[in-house]
Amino acid sequence: MRLILITGMSGSGKSVALAALEDAGYYCIDNLPPRFLLELVAFLSHEGQTRLGVAIDARSARSLDEMPAIIRALSEHHDVRLLFLNSSTQSLIKRFSETRRKHPLSISMDNNTLNSTQASLADAIKHERKLVENLVEFGHQIDTSSLHANTLRAWVKQFIQYDQSGLALMFQSFGFKRGIPLDADLVFDVRILPNPYYNRELRLLTGLDQPVIDFLTAISLVGAMIDDIAEYLVKWLPHFRNDNRAYLTIAIGCTGGQHRSVYIAETLAARFVRDANVLVRHRDIASAVFASISS
């Protein structure tokens, strides 16, 4: 069975991700307590189900500690992938405020007994981070802080389609003005390079457009930056592999995430496509196109 587990912070887009799995033909269940996973997978496997998506969040706080052992047990017989959705505290507070929804942990727990003390939203988010932080290392993390719903849907579909054997390299472009991605393992700042934005003919284009590609390709400093980043990765990739990493996210940042970072992420991805499973994402390239995540 292909089993996709979706977890992470409440308000980070788990319902959007689960809907994307459902659209892709997965049998989906929301908010399943982890202790029932083994039973559920065994039953559905017997019934002939081959694709299952399960969302697990802080409402299952009492059994979250069991997740690592459950994931290991399931991985012995099934293709198990964990997708961890994260978001900045500021973004989460804004989303809960806009939707007027209560955070699952807004009512505090005291000695496993529910009491009437209402925790502040910021405190609830802080507590939830502690509950789920141990799950990050088991899967692929996506920072949805400034991500749009349609972009997240596309990234989830990309996540379930690629070959998971071996180390997966994720080259992600971003703009510093929207913050550094929480899911980045390595961050390279390319803002010192000449910016196509100041060329009026290139301003409204992106690093995927040929005029911008031609502009940046002609600058020797850009090529030197790409060579240096590639050399660093070539040197240290074997060590990341030896650390049994499944995913490595290399974030390339420029000012707005539209030109330089996009071009460099694409160029680096093309260089390493023969050495690893390579994915490319551009966090801010379509920032004005899609409606933002609200759940």
Q: Give yes or no: residues 30 and 124 share one domain.
A: yes
Smallest CA-to-CA distance from 37 within 8, 64, 19 is with 64
- pLDDT of residue 57 exceeding 90, the answer is no
Q: Give yes or no: residues 102 and 210 share one domain.
A: no
Q: Give yes or no: residues 6 and 140 share one domain.
A: yes
Q: Give yes or no: residues 198 and 278 share one domain.
A: yes
- pLDDT of residue 272 exceeding 60, the answer is yes
Element (H, E) at 252: strand 247-254
- As a whole number of angstroms, the distance between CA 13 and CA 11 comes to 6
- pLDDT of residue 110 exceeding 80, the answer is no
pLDDT recorded at residue 138: 82
pLDDT recorded at residue 292: 32
Q: Give yes or no: residues 55 and 192 share one domain.
A: no
- pLDDT of residue 205 exceeding 50, the answer is yes
Describe the strand order of the beta sheet including 277-282 as a list of residue ranges: 186-189, 247-254, 168-175, 277-282
Question: Binning pLDDT at 50, 70 and 90, where does residue 294 land?
Answer: very low
Segment 163-201, tens digit of pLDDT = 666 788 999 999 999 999 998 999 999 999 999 999 999
Q: Give yes or no: residues 194 and 253 share one domain.
A: yes
Residue 187 or 104, more confident? 187
pLDDT recorded at residue 165: 65
Domain that holds residue 270: 167-295
The pair of three-digit structure tokens given for residue 211, joined into one six-digit string: 């005029």
Helix (H, G, I), strand (E, B) or coil at 277: strand
pLDDT recorded at residue 164: 63
Computed over every residue of the chain, the mean pLDDT equals 88
Q: Give yes or no: residues 87 and 197 share one domain.
A: no
Segment 231-255, tens digit of pLDDT = 999 999 999 888 877 789 999 999 9
- pLDDT of residue 73 exceeding 50, the answer is yes
Domain count, the chain: 2
Q: Give yes or no: residues 146 and 56 share one domain.
A: yes
pLDDT recorded at residue 249: 94
Segment 16-31, tens digit of pLDDT = 999 999 999 999 999 8
Mean pLDDT of 113-130: 73
